[in-house]
Amino acid sequence: TVEKSQTTTASVTATNSLTKGAVELTKIDDIDNSTLEGAVFKIVDHNGNDVRSDLTTDKDGKISVSDLRPGDYQFVETKAPIHYDLNQNPIKFTV
C-alpha cells in the first residue's frame, strides 16, 4: 500500500513461470521401419550446449524427455544400436 505521506519508493516483484514442453523420439530401421532399442542420444540447444545426455531408446525404440524450456534443440546420436551405423545427422525440433 502506498501512503500519501510516503517518502520511499515501494518495491514489488512479479514472477512468471515458463511453460515447459516435452518431446518423444522413435528410432526405426531405415529398411523395414522396425523400432530399434539401444540407440543413445543427447539433446543440444541452439548454441550447441548439452541439455540432456545418455538418453537410450527403450524396447519400443522410444526416448521421452519432459521439462524442456521453450526453444530450438537437436537430438544427436552418440551411440548406434548394435549392428547399425551411427547416424551423423542431428534431428532438429522446437519446443
Q: What is the CATH number of the domain that holds 26?
A: 2.60.40.10
Residue 5 belongs to some domain of the structure? no
Structural domain boundaries, residue 74? 21-94
pTM of the entire structure?
0.81
- Tens digit of each residue's pLDDT (9 = 90 or more) over 64-85: 999 999 999 999 999 999 999 9
> How many structural domains does the chain have?
1
Quick check: 89 pLDDT over 90? yes
Residue 76 belongs to some domain of the structure? yes
Residue 35 belongs to some domain of the structure? yes
Question: What does the DSSP assignment read for 28-69?
Answer: B-TTT--B-S--EEEEEETTS-EEEEEEE--TTSEEEEEEEP
